[in-house]
Structure 1
Amino acid sequence: MALGQVGWAALLITCSGLIAFILGIIAENQKPTAIRVSGLTASGGDTAVTCVYPSDPTSWLGSIAVVLLFVTAFKGLVAIVFPYQGKRVPVRALFKSTSLLTFTILSVVIFLVAEALLLWATILESLHRRQFNGKVDPTGSCPTAKTGLFGGAAFLALDSTLFWLICLMLTVNARADHFNSFEEEDLKGSYADVANAQEYAPALGAHATARV
């Protein structure tokens, strides 16, 4: 297997996953709280709270992180079945490796959880801003996305990236085992041919007649 192709696959997976992690951490740290502006309502004269959300890129950061995490998982799956050096290995043969199958399942599960958390946090933040920004909130809470959602999703995205890299290393081992098994079968076949030729050689010589 060409080390250059494996290295490029690992680099692409690492870059997209690491950027998704960084964006998730920035979105968690930069997520502002809403400003509550108190005033009197026109009808009853009671004090009401108007929610004012300052502009910030939290929703955009979350959206980009969602896309990058999906790209990371897609690259990870492609890297497993990619025909390095033009030598394709059947998926069934690859997943004969219990370690590769286990880590692939874990990688997919962690990716789905991280993606769901990122989507949840991003959608909540966007909905709260559209629903309450510049409007009177009867409860006076001015909600935002729950604290820790972006951060937890970011660390799960990093874990998913690391698991995909482990899957890539296990894929290298599984491919090597697959091709080594074929080489061993070829060697056994050649040794068998040699042994058969040696067995038949005396028999052929026994029928030869000496010339006078």
Structure 2
Amino acid sequence: MALSATSKFALAVAFFGSLAFIFGVVAENKKPPFGTPIKGKDVVICKFPSDPTIALGSFSVVALVIAAVIGHLAVFFPYKGKSVPHEALFRSTSLVVFFIVAEVVSVLALGMMMWATITEGLHRSHNVHHNLETQCPTAKTGLFGGAAFLALDAALFWLVCEMLTLNARADYLDEDDPKGEYGHVYAADLDPNGSGVKV
């Protein structure tokens, strides 16, 4: 059975959002709390254990960007070849609210994950310190984990946006539910003896 475009978008957003979350959580767990200071003459060289924190943070950033791009596509995609003007889509207050929240949460998650990843990379590359009291810090604890949860939230908000988009499209295109309205009974369904609905 072939998946509809709606299902493909939803699965893609969920998949990449989950990947961003998993990569971020694993990066948080693998990140060492600090490096080992090695004292030299008038300098301290920080030695860090080899771990995949920076790579995992980078993968999380990429997965989050892909999830957000697919989330945007899901909102503006012309399903079944029928496009809807943006003004008509955004007449729905719920869609506007969730779209803005999805955008803000995506930007926050992306900024936080990039901040953690770049900070960790800078600590590793600038590992020679003239301050002899340095403790060889790493990126702040909790940044990767917090960004991971924001990435998951962003993916969930994009999924809600897709559902609200489908509702707004149906309203604009006057697409009827093939099952009829709730409580709607056709005259042909009634028993001719007047005893109620035919079984």
In 1, distance between residues paired with 2:60 and 2:23? 6
2:53 maps to 1:65? no
Which residue type is aligned with residue 83 of structure 1?
Answer: P
Residue 113 of structure 2: aligned partner = 118
Residue 6 of structure 2: aligned partner = 6
CA deviations 1:22-66 (Å, max 9, x no partner) are: 00000001101344245463x7xxxx6432101111111111111
In 2, distance between residues paired with 1:21 and 1:141? 29
CA deviations 1:76-116 (Å, max 9, x no partner) are: 11110101110111111110111101100000000111100
Unaligned runs of 5+ in 2: 177-199
| Structure with max Cα Rg | 1
Unaligned runs of 5+ in 1: 183-212
- 2:116/2:140 contact within 8 Å kept: yes
SS at match of 1:123: helix
Which residue type is aligned with residue 4 of structure 1?
Answer: S
TM-score norm. by structure 1 comes to: 0.77
Residue 134 of structure 2: aligned partner = 140
Q: 1:168 to 1:3 in 2, by over 3 A?
A: farther
Residue 195 of structure 2: aligned partner = none
Give 1:136 deviation, angstroms. Answer: 6.4
Count of aligned pairs: 175
In 1, distance between residues paired with 2:112 and 2:39? 36
Residue 17 of structure 2: aligned partner = 17
Residue 147 of structure 2: aligned partner = 153
Q: 1:37 to 1:139 in 2, by over 3 A?
A: closer
Residue 208 of structure 1: aligned partner = none
Give 1:137 deviation, angstroms. Answer: 5.1
In 2, distance between residues paired with 1:20 and 1:136? 37
2:78 maps to 1:86? no
Say which of 83, 101, 104 aligns to 2:99.
Answer: 104
TM-score norm. by structure 2 comes to: 0.81
In 2, distance between residues paired with 1:170 and 1:115? 24
- 2:35/2:135 contact within 8 Å kept: no
- 1:121/1:149 contact within 8 Å kept: yes
Q: 1:120 to 1:35 in 2, by over 3 A?
A: closer
